Amino acid sequence: MELKNKTKTELHRILAESRDKLRDLRFKDSDKQLKNVREIRKIRQVIARALTLLNIK
């Protein structure tokens, strides 16, 4: 996902969606229903990238 070309509003939307997805993945992980735990790490990296770009812009 190329985040550098996104506007501030798009980054805020991506950030909100990623946080929701992260919350859902953590619930699934706590219930032992999550098969791919690396997905949590990927979502956290997307959140970090979005926050970094928002601070730059």
Q: How many CB atoms lie within 10 A of CB 5?
A: 7
Distance between CA atoms of residues 26 and 28, nearest Å: 5
**1 pLDDT above the threshold of 70:** no
Residue-wise pLDDT for 20-54, tens only, equals 999 999 999 888 888 888 999 999 999 999 999 99
| Residue spans per domain, the chain | 8-56
CA-closest candidate to residue 3, choices 56, 38, 53, 41: 53
